[in-house]
Amino acid sequence: MKTLQLVLVLAYFSCCLLFSACDQTSNFEQNAAVTPVVQESMDKGNEAFKQEDYKTAIDYYLRLLKILEPQGNLKIYPEILVQLGTSYFKLQDYDKALDYYYLFLELPQVQSSPKEKAKGIGSIASVHQKVGNYEDSYQLQIDALKIREAENDSAGIGRSLYELGTLMFYQKNYELAREYYQSSLNLSKAMGNKKATLSCLNAMGTTYQGLDSTNLVLPYLEEALALARELGKKSAEAYALHNIGAHYLEKKSFFQTAEAYFLESYQIKLDLDDKWGLIGSHIYLGDLYLKQSLLEKARLEYEKGLALAEEIDSDVRKVALLNRLAEVYELKKDYPQALLLKNKYISLNESILNEKMLEEMGNKKAQYLLQKKEKDIAIFKEKARTKKLRSNFLLILSFFSICLVGLSYNSHTRLQFTKKLKEKNTEIQQQNQDLARKNDDLKKFAFIVSHDLKAPLRTIGSFTGLMRRRYFHLFDKNGQEYMDFITGGVKRMDQLLNDLLTYSQIENNEQESDWTETKDVVHNALSNLYFQIRNQKVAIKINEIALPRVRGNSAHLTQLFQNIIANGIKFRNGRDPQILIDCLQNEEKYTFAIKDNGIGIEEQYQEKIFRMFSRLHKVEEYEGTGIGLATCKKIVEKHGGKIWVESAPGQGSTFFFSLPKN
């Protein structure tokens, strides 16, 4: 009898613990008190944010950050970070927005709150979407959606669906975008969330425009405009006006109406300093003038938009504008400029939109749907089990009995586990074989570049040279100029293939390291650049005493120094180039510095220059393929180090890279 009582008591406490775990709530809310001064500043910041005065809001939030320490008022600190991130996001300062979103996401109280964690992930995804990094944005939104569905966070789910719709919209997959937007709209209306409903109405209108369902466009957009004015949301009002203008743009007899809507929208965006929106206005005003054959007015609008797109570093916007500008110059019969712009458009467009990426996003969606289905089944089973536990207390006793019986079958379970482990090992081996095969295919890329791709290029170059020698006098001025374009294009393509070959060799070859004197490496690099140094009257100063002996690949390190020094010579500032090479060290690493007196680099581009194909200048100004510094970054990372630059326009640049001592 006593044994039975003990079992019942244990069962009771087990149930208490079980249901306590099931009902555990987020520990995001902290008990830290908010002082009146802090609360007043927070209220003012939030009010400015609500009024879309984001610069003022940022001032208040930054003051609060100086007052509060991360370990201080934990309840309000995360809110300040996310509001700062969103304010910078609204002002299109995406780098700072990411900084604060990541700070928010890394807080322990956010990591322990699934709802807040999903908010951080979703916010970071939105930044990636704005700059055209669609694949990462899609995966992050899917991650956020999974968390929100697990938490039954209806508002969060609606937000994720909306953002996924936006991703599909920019990929021109309007049907899928409509599905996402419609689901988000249904949720927003069901919750009575007017702000979210407003965003969805605007999105639905533009999506139906993309689907050519013109009869469905205006009802959504006019409802969005009315709701925006009701809520006092100036940015949403601007977008609704713009979208209505875009609708009338498709109707020839309504060009004046379209222009009126565009200009009204433009003025609101100008007041809000909404650069992203202003770019859209320039695009559509340019389209409007282009439809009326007002080529010079169209060109001016597109170039204003392109300048803003460069300012906020949005590849998505730049692609749209480059293509349109190319069309304008083609209509003006300025074919060389049209060709140059079209090439830029093609190169940039391929980097943000391609078949492989769309396929990958589709695969991720399929994986998510499959996981969601499996998860729904698991949740259903868990609910059924919990219901039985609650309705029949005796089932707990059965549970303990089953556990005891299960112990007697431990050996059987172990055998099954061993069998599954063997199956998993076989699967992993198969995956490793597949990976090895793919890596082998990747290594063949170098051979393809150096042979298969260069063969037709040599043919083009040879026959163009032959035509130039034999028939140059038969061509008019335009024909001769086009021939120069072909010759220049062949030369640049050959250099591009060489640079790609170098990059792929660094990427795919195993690192062959040995002890190397960096002063010898530097002198090898300078020998390779002898003619440039002599012709450009370059002054080289080397602190040879400071240059250490390091463990690394001599050829790759020579390439590293050579690329950076060559850039210092190429990007000269109207005077004789001066290069200084030095090295500092601490207990863990060597830090090399290569300083020049060149044109310098603006702060906003100091990370971008290390990406593949990143160019800050036109080909006519400075030749190159945009791969050199990406190669440097790859070499340094292969050696376990980091590379960065410190610079200011007109004041030269100092490239730093670190190499570990051990």
pLDDT at 355 over 60: no
Q: Where are the alpha helices (DSSP H) in 151-193?
A: 154-170, 174-191
Reduce the DSSP state of residue 582 to 3 states and report it: strand
Q: Where are the alpha helices (DSSP H) in 51-91?
A: 54-67, 77-90
Note the pLDDT tens digit of each residue in 298-337: 999 999 999 988 888 777 788 888 888 988 888 888 888 8
Return the closest-CA partner of residue 188 out of 178, 201, 197, 176. 197
Higher pLDDT, residue 16 or 319: 319
What residues contact residue 72 under an 8 Å CB cut-off, 6+ apart?
Answer: 32
pLDDT at 28 over 50: no
CA distances from 180 to 5, 167, 246 (A): 56, 10, 22
What residues contact residue 348 under an 8 Å CB cut-off, 6+ apart?
Answer: 315, 318, 319, 322
Question: How many Å apart are CA 405 and CA 408, to the nearest integer?
Answer: 5
What's the whole-number mean pLDDT along residues 558-569? 88
Q: Are strands 578-585 and 549-552 parallel, antiparallel or unpaired?
A: unpaired
What's the whole-number mean pLDDT along residues 612-628? 60
pLDDT of residue 499: 56
Over pLDDT 90: what percentage of the chain? 11
What's the whole-number mean pLDDT along residues 582-593? 90
Q: Find the range with the poorest average confidence among 358-372, 410-424, 458-472.
A: 358-372
pLDDT at 7 over 50: no
Q: Find the range with the poorest average confidence among 155-169, 418-432, 601-615.
A: 418-432
The tokens describing 564, both together, are 């950076």
Note the pLDDT tens digit of each residue in 252-283: 778 889 899 999 999 998 988 888 889 999 99
What's the whole-number mean pLDDT along residues 608-631? 66
Chain center to CA of 451: 34
Q: Phi/psi at 642 (nearest 5 deg)?
A: -135, 155
Question: How many Å apart are CA 592 and CA 169, to the nearest integer?
Answer: 46
Give the pLDDT band (50/70/90) at residue 609. Answer: confident
How high is the mean pLDDT of the chain? Answer: 76
Overall residue count recorded for the chain in this entry: 662
Q: Phi/psi at 431 (nearest 5 deg)?
A: -65, -40
Higher pLDDT, residue 153 or 361: 153
pLDDT of residue 282: 92
Q: Of the ranges 90-99, 397-406, 475-484, 491-500, which is most confident?
A: 90-99
Give the pLDDT band (50/70/90) at residue 617. Answer: low
pLDDT of residue 452: 55
What's the whole-number mean pLDDT along residues 168-196? 87
CA distances from 407 to 295, 385, 400, 410 (A): 83, 21, 11, 5
Note the pLDDT tens digit of each residue in 369-396: 444 444 544 554 455 455 544 545 444 4
- Look up residue 374 and give its amino acid: E
Edge-to-edge strand ranges of the sheet holding 578-585:
539-542, 578-585, 589-596, 653-660, 643-647
3-state per-residue secondary structure call for 199-246:
HHHHHHHHHHHHCCCHHHHHHHHHHHHHHHHHHCCHHHHHHHHHHHHH
Q: From start to end of 510-623, where are the E strands?
A: 514-517, 539-542, 549-552, 578-585, 589-596
pLDDT at 178 over 70: yes
pLDDT of residue 655: 92
What's the whole-number mean pLDDT along residues 109-119? 88
